[in-house]
Amino acid sequence: MNDTREPCLPAHLEPPQHILVDPEVIHSPITARVLSRLPGIPWSVCRNYQEKLQKHGPGARILYLKNYKGRFMRFCPGTSRYHCCGYRIIHIGENCPLNCSYCILQAYFQDRVLKVWANQQDLFRELEEHLADKNRLFRAGTGEFTDSLALEAITGYTGDLAAFLGQYPNICLELKSKIVDLGWMSRVSDPARVLPAWSVNTPEIIALQEKGSAGLQERMQAARECVRQGFRICLHFDPVIHYPGWQKGYALAVETIFDYVNARDIAYMSLGSFRFMPELEKILMHNHPGADYIYNEFITGLDGKKRLLLPLRLKQFRFLARKLKNAGMGTNMYFCMESEHVWQDVLGYTPRDLGGLDNHLLRLSFQADQFSALKA
């Protein structure tokens, strides 16, 4: 008999039209959970991914539960020639159900199939090896090749990961998202070692360029709830976009943030100007014809990526940094991929003054007493 039940999903998620499952993960707990949370969605065993994709057509909404064979934990690719933050990526899947116009994943991946690494036990085994030396500290996150939480309602992946990492005091996990899902929270044993994080932007950018995401107030309400539950949060003003009226928009964004949380609740905050690999330009113009900001004046940086002209970048950064400092932010503000010159000009310090950006962020991600105890 056909299962005619309909899945009950949050607003940012449309039910997939089909689920593909690698034979090796048919009995994995993630597969069982996904299938139970998506009743009525047809699924099949995937022995030949390309063939299956062709069968369903390029635009089909496919969820692929994959037996991932690569490395799960890696260094963030960062960028050459600019200061990078030494973040470790825990790779849990690829692609994202949201539709941000500037999303780099459009250029990274050939298709938009939502992929979940369903062999979670292999991930845990690899993490065990990395984390065995308890004197080595890690700051890691899952939000690099996907949004950390966008598929959580279907997979429960982050809840499992947080529960697993609870036994390792030497890792701090950042969950970077543009949606609201706090379902993972009940699985956390020590809130000091999980950092819920949101990208933040102006209401106009969120509404027009981050389709499917939660509004700024919703994100900040969730952030406040996390603080109430004993977590510190992270925020990322990234990408800062230059558009008519940006001053008003970013002033309002800062005001909204501090209506909900205090500066002391924020472990760290990054600022990053819109930047892109040249390959993204045409894709963005094609997929998002209304994204006018792509017609701004950009220069090619030392790493080959395009960035807004330096004077415009500095103007936006100075404006934002001033507002953030007035709200109580200090040396826990950092730039994502900017030169020492920009740091010094806008923030008045450089990564060198902080003892290196990776060390500084590692210190900030752990609470001070934990950091000294672990380092002792």
Answer whether 192's CB lies under 8 Å from 227's CB: no
Please report how close the Cβ of residue 197 comes to ligand SF4 at its closest, in angstroms.
Answer: 12
Answer whether 90's CB lies under 8 Å from 72's CB: yes
Q: Which is nearer to ligand SF4, 105 or 310 (CB)?
A: 105
Count residues near ligand SF4 (CB under 6 A): 9
Binding marks (x or -) toward ligand SF4, 139..178, rule CB under 6 A?
A: -------xx------------------------------x
Which residues neighbour 243 within 8 Å (Cβ) at sequence distance 6 or greater?
204, 205, 249, 292, 293
Please report how close the Cβ of residue 100 comes to ligand SF4 at its closest, in angstroms.
Answer: 3
Q: Which is nearer to ligand SF4, 146 or 155 (CB)?
A: 146
Instruction: Tell me how far apart the alpha carbons of residues 143 and 23 are, in angstroms, rounded to a whole number.
Output: 27
Span interacting with ligand SF4, options 46-54, 84-92, 93-101, 157-165, rule CB under 6 A: 93-101
Q: Which of 62, 89, 103, 226 binds ligand SF4 (CB under 6 A)?
A: 103
Please report how close the Cβ of residue 152 comes to ligand SF4 at its closest, in angstroms.
Answer: 13
Q: Which is nearer to ligand SF4, 192 or 283 (CB)?
A: 283
Of 365, 300, 308, 297, give the one whose Cα is nearest residue 342.
308
Span interacting with ligand SF4, options 98-106, 180-188, 304-312, 344-352, rule CB under 6 A: 98-106
Judged by CB under 6 A, does residue 100 bind ligand SF4? yes
Judged by CB under 6 A, does residue 208 bind ligand SF4? no
Judged by CB under 6 A, does residue 96 bind ligand SF4? yes
Q: Which is nearer to ligand SF4, 39 or 183 (CB)?
A: 183
Please report how close the Cβ of residue 279 comes to ligand SF4 at its closest, in angstroms.
Answer: 15
Span interacting with ligand SF4, options 4-12, 75-83, 97-105, 260-268, rule CB under 6 A: 97-105
Instruction: Tell me how far apart the alpha carbons of residues 294 and 106 are, in angstroms, rounded to a whole number.
Output: 15
Judged by CB under 6 A, does residue 89 bind ligand SF4? no
Of 119, 177, 183, give the one whose Cα is nearest residue 148.
177
| Token pair listed for 290 | 């209304």
Of 179, 175, 258, give the one whose Cα is nearest residue 218.
179
Please report how close the Cβ of residue 105 comes to ligand SF4 at its closest, in angstroms.
Answer: 5
Q: Which is nearer to ligand SF4, 22 or 238 (CB)?
A: 238
Please report how close the Cβ of residue 212 comes to ligand SF4 at its closest, in angstroms.
Answer: 8
Residue 215, Cβ neighbours under 10 Å: how many?
Answer: 14
Span interacting with ligand SF4, options 52-60, 96-104, 130-138, 273-281, rule CB under 6 A: 96-104
Judged by CB under 6 A, does residue 98 bind ligand SF4? yes
Judged by CB under 6 A, does residue 105 bind ligand SF4? yes
Please report how close the Cβ of residue 134 comes to ligand SF4 at its closest, in angstroms.
Answer: 32
Q: Which is nearer to ligand SF4, 178 or 305 (CB)?
A: 178
Q: Which is nearer to ligand SF4, 179 or 362 (CB)?
A: 179
Q: Which is nearer to ligand SF4, 143 or 351 (CB)?
A: 143
* Contacting residues toward ligand SF4, per CB under 6 A: 96, 98-100, 103, 105, 146-147, 178
